[in-house]
Amino acid sequence: MKEPKNAALVKQGEVRENLPSLKFKVRLDDGKEILAYLSGKLVIHRIRILPGDKVTVEMSPYDETKGRIIYRNKQ
């Protein structure tokens, strides 16, 4: 069975640095560092993301250097 073309990769990581315009440097559990932005739901509900937070990131299978933060894990 083939995966749909728009299937996203979901990975866990830790926020390393806050950047301007709601972007973040995130180090994934596999060691890669990516540039991630906040999903719309997190912006609407004003969920605050700080360095050191564990997050769930959704990434495109085509570009694994960028992603979208979809969830801030409870600590």
- Of the chain, the end-to-end C-alpha distance in Å amounts to 37
Q: Which helix (H) or strand (E) holds 44?
A: helix 40-44
Predicted TM-score of the model (pTM): 0.88
Residue 56 tokens read as 């769930």
pLDDT for the residue 1:
60
The domains located in the chain, with CATH, are: 9-72 (2.40.50.140)
pLDDT tens digits along 17-55? 999 999 999 999 999 999 999 999 999 999 999 999 999
